[in-house]
Each structure stands twice: as C-alpha cells, then as structure tokens.
Structure 1
Amino acid sequence: MAVIEKSEMKFVQTTEGYEILPHPQSNRLYHIEISADIVKKFLEIMKEDGVSAQRLEYTPFARQLVTDRLLTLTGYELGNIVREILNDRASGGFTVGMKDVTEDKEEFLFFSTAFSHMAGMPNFDSMTGKYYANFSVKDTDNSDSYLRQAYRLFTLHTDGTFVDEPTDWLLMMKLEERNAVGGESRLLHLDDWNELDKFANDPIGSHKFTYKAPSSKNVGQEVERTTFFKQNNKPCICFIDQFVYPETIEQAKYLSNLSDSMEADEAVIELKLPVGNLVMVNNLFWLHGRAAFEKNTELYRELQRQRGRFIQ
C-alpha cells in the first residue's frame, strides 16, 4: 500500500482568500478552505445577478457564469488547481465548504455548480432530468437500489457504470441532516487497496460485463464494461455490485470476492462531511460508498450529486 507523507502533498498552499490544506482524515485528500468573506461576496453577487436554481437548470451557459463569478473572487488559479488535484493520481480528491455562511439549498447549488464546472461538464442525470440530483435518505424507503436504504451498507463502487458516457469525476454535497448517527461517506483510493494486483491481474478483471440499471434510474440501455482498465499506464476501475450481470458462477465469485476485499481493506476512509460541504473525487480510481445509519424514525439526510467529464 502506498503511503503519502503530508509534506509530499504538492498542492498545499496559502493564497489570499483561500488555503489548500492536507485533509485531516487522509494523506491523499486535500481540504480547500475558502474565506467566509469570499463566500458571502459570492452569494451577494448571485442575488444581484438574479441567479436561481431554475435559471441554472434551464440555461447551461449560466452555470459557467456562476463559476466565473467565484473564480473572479478567488483568482482563476483555483480552477486550475481543482483540475490538477482531480487528475493527480497521488490525490484525486478534495473537500470544500461554505463556512456556515448559509443553510439555503439553492445557494448550496450555486457553490457546487461553480466547483463542478471548474472540473469540467456535468453529465445529464437521468434520475432527475437535470445536471444534478438531490436525494434524501430516511427511516423508510421503497426504492429499488441501496442509494436511499439507510440501514444497510452501501457498498464501495464507482458511478456511471450503466451509462455510455465518460464519468471522470464525482461531486457529493451534504444539504441537510437531522437525527443521523453513522452514514459516513466511505472512500477507498485504488492504490491503497492491498489486493489491487490480485484482482486487476485476474483474467476476469478484463472481461466485459453487462451492466443494467434499475427502473428508478430512468436508463433503459445496457452497456458492457471491463472491471479494470488502464489510463496513463495505471489501473482504473469500473464497478458496482448492484447492476453488474455475471454470466458464470466463476465470474460471480470473482465479483463477490472483489467487493468483500475492498470493504474489509484497512485503507477505507469514513469521511466526516458537515452540512454545506462537498467532496469531489476522481471516479476512475476512487471508490465510494456509505456506512449504515443507526436506526432512528426521525432520520433525515439530503445529498446532492453531480458527476461528469473533464474538458480538454
């Protein structure tokens, strides 16, 4: 397992208006600390410009203008750094928050949109028909996937497995939380997984599996994907246990053992993410999931998801 010293984290810096720090829970993730003054100014400009969630949903170029407004306040180098961190194999991820300046979910969308468009272009989310998806986790659930089921482990996976488009990065932002114990975001960097070589070098790792989405995803197509592939001569992964259809018992055992191995790995991070904060990771070499919540009939958590591709 690779060990990265904090002193080796090359993007750590202090700049007027923001700092880039090692994340307290990870030697790979960064935390971007934007000053409360800049967050306040950004939201004031959004109000002056008449920006709304509907405006961003209906008018794609408005999303880029929101990004420009934040970069004008922080300096445009922040956009370059965001892309460099996400593309950096040694890291590939960061957290950033709004400093408790607001609890308004529409204003959370302005902030997350700015960061997603620094990274590239969000994909259309068929589940909601927008470029983002807000979804809740509650005590009871009737959905057809683990996404909203609070009291079971949401196993480690990558996004975009069942769609025929690049899904290079993932953004998750916490919008609201009440009566929640547990439910931490679980993350695993591929290079920290002890048994990566064992599974990546297995011939089944290069087999093209069929992926199909459940009805709630509003995606009717089937796609074929290998579990492992290479980018810049480094292994990357495409996997989710719920939507992959093995053809043989041998393949099923491989997938089950792969998932069990990742879940048990000591390098899994259980990330603490406060309301108003987001995490962005490279979806090709970071896996993500969610720990189970403790039972509470008043449990409520709302998250936002954006995922997309890098732009050259």
Structure 2
Amino acid sequence: MNMVKSDLVKSFEHFNVVQHPQSNRLYHIELKDEAVAAFLEKHRDTSPQQLEYIPYRRYVIANDLRKVLGEDFSKMINEVLHDREFGGFTLGIGKVASSDEDYVKFATAITHLIGGVNFDAMSGKYYARFTVKDTDNSDSYLRQAYRLFTLHTDGTFVDEPCDWLLMMKFAEENASGGESRLLHLDDWEELDYYANHPVASTKIPYKSPASKNVSKTVYNNTFYEHNGKTCIQFIDQFAYPDTIEQAEYLKSLSESMESSSAVVELELPVGSLVVLNNTFWLHGRAAFEKHPDLHRELLRQRGYFKKV
C-alpha cells in the first residue's frame, strides 16, 4: 500500500521529496549540496554557544535556511509533520557539513521552522548531545548499548507540550545493530484494544531518574485525543503505576508494541536526521552487537509546534 501523496513527491529548485525506502509513512528529502553549502557558509561564524545564549538567533538561522531552500520547504515539512497519515521525514547533510557545529546549526534551523524547542534539563541546553559506547553506568536505557531501548514517546516526565522530536547522528564507529525502531500508532495491530482499555484514561505518575535533572512528578493518561485522533504518552522506564492492574496493563501494552509487525528499523547514516510527530510516532533502539570500541553520538531536540 502506497499512501504517499503525489503532490508532495516531486522536485523543487533546491530539494527533492521522495518516499522513504523503508516506510510508506515517511518522506525522505534530498537537499541540493549547493543549497546546504550556501546556508553553512552564511553562518560560518555563528557558534552553537551564540545559539544557546541568544535564543532569537535560532529563529534568525531558521529564516536564513528558509530563504536558501525556499518557502516551499518550510511549508512542506510542516505539512508532513501535521499530517496524521505520515508525520515524519528524514534528510541528510553529511556530504557537505564539515563539523559538529554545522550539524548543530542545521538541526536548529530545521526545528525552528517547525516551532519552539523545549529546554533539555539533562544537558542544560535547548538540545542534548549524548554518546553510546561499550560501557556505561547510566540510570536509563538511553546510553546502554546492549539493551533493547523500548518504544516510547518523549516528554512524558515534563510538564510541557512535546509535539515533535528530532534526532541527528553525529558520529558512528564499530557499530553493528542499534537501528532506530519506529512505530506509527495507526499501524499497531492492537491499538483499539489498548486505547479503549479501562486503564487507558487513568493518569499514571511519571518520574525521571537523577540524570534527567527533573524532580517534578507528572501525571499522564496513556492515551488521549487530539484533532479527533488517538495519541499516546508512554515510556516504560519512568512510569510509576499505583496498582497491579495498571502495571499489568503497561507491561502488556509495551510487549504488544515491541512485537508489532509494523515496527520499522530505520537506517540513519552519519550526518542524517529524522523528525517525527511525537504524539503518534513511538521510537526506540535495537540493541548493538558487542564491540569494545563502539561509539555513536547523537543530537536530540524536541519541542512544540509553532502557533498558527
């Protein structure tokens, strides 16, 4: 079944839009090298620190990216992310970018065409960079390479909207496995059963571990409705159910999603990013194969859609 809209799959002056080879729920955007180079050259002297310290500069570079790629680019990525049938895209700049700073600037420009970013308490910035390696003493599965990082949505333990998520791969060495695992809520075979379960509308306490630097407990329904469609908030590691019934429900729900035939194991090359609507896409990570010199570095930004 091919659901991709033909009016979006086409060529523009500075980019092309194609169906993602691994999912008919995702688009892939092929940027013209000269356009990416023009944007990076314009901001050669812009530093990530300036973007951290002067928030309005994030929107300035977003506007410059819009000028380079054209208004159609901004309209297209927002249309895709808001469209319940799709809600995600990938693109890459690895052939043109020459530094981690380029990646930070480009990712920031993308996210600020979408909306505003949430403060990431784990890093103390508006974005987080983190590594996955052979050994780690982390208090969550985020950095633990040889465990399945189960399907979840971001922002379950913060008291603010988390509409979208961007992940970008900065570096990777000696990595086999570790694919990004994605599940579109509407492709999950047992969605109706779990969304209509008595526990589905129960407010579950969520608490984060120490590394997240968030001490407040928040309470979320597992399922909720937005624009007449079912959405989800869930992560197994940080849920603190109050009853055996709630715990059994969450365990069964997680196991059902993990075993879904609709899970996509996404290949994301270095210098590439994926952006997802966080209200109906779940994401996780497959386990890596053991290697003493395993190294992967990722960037994460997440936030809210711009007010229309």
Which TM-score tier does this pair reach, normalised by the shorter chain?
Answer: over 0.9
Whether the 8 Å CA contact 2:51–2:58 is kept in 1: the answer is yes
Counterpart of 1:17 (choices 14, 24, 38) is: 14
The one-character-per-residue Cα deviations of 1:17-47 (angstroms, maximum 9, x if unpaired) are 1011110000010001110111111111111
Give unmatched runs, 5+ long, in structure 2. none
1:189 maps to 2:158: no
1:152 maps to 2:110: no
CA distance in 2 between partners of 1:16 and 1:77 (Å): 10
CA distance in 1 between partners of 2:53 and 2:6 (Å): 39
Aligned pairs for 1:162-201 within 5 A: 162-201=157-196
CA distance in 1 between partners of 2:158 and 2:40 (Å): 34
The CA deviation at 1:128 is 0.7
The CA deviation at 1:76 is 1.6
The CA deviation at 1:236 is 0.1
CA distance in 2 between partners of 1:192 and 1:95 (Å): 19
Equivalent residue, structure 1, for 2:3: 5
Whether the 8 Å CA contact 1:155–1:290 is kept in 2: the answer is yes
1:38 maps to 2:35: yes
Equivalent residue, structure 1, for 2:104: 109
CA distance in 1 between partners of 2:213 and 2:3 (Å): 43
1:257 maps to 2:255: no
Q: Number of paired residues?
A: 307
Whether the 8 Å CA contact 2:94–2:270 is kept in 1: the answer is no
Counterpart of 2:72 (choices 77, 94, 97) is: 77
CA distance in 1 between partners of 2:121 and 2:13 (Å): 39
TM-score with structure 2 length normalisation? 0.98
CA distance in 1 between partners of 2:3 and 2:59 (Å): 35
Whether the 8 Å CA contact 1:138–1:150 is kept in 2: the answer is yes
CA RMSD of aligned residues (A): 0.9
Q: Alignment partner of 1:56: what SS? A: helix
The one-character-per-residue Cα deviations of 1:58-110 (angstroms, maximum 9, x if unpaired) are 01111111111111111122111111111000000000110411241000011
Following superposition, which runs of at least 4 residues in structure 1 exceed 3 angstroms of deviation? 3-6
The one-character-per-residue Cα deviations of 1:160-206 (angstroms, maximum 9, x if unpaired) are 00000000000000000000000000000000000000000001000
Give aligned-pair identity as a percent.
58
Equivalent residue, structure 2, for 1:238: 233
CA distance in 2 between partners of 1:9 and 1:152 (Å): 39
The CA deviation at 1:10 is 4.4
Aligned pairs for 1:203-282 within 5 A: 203-282=198-277
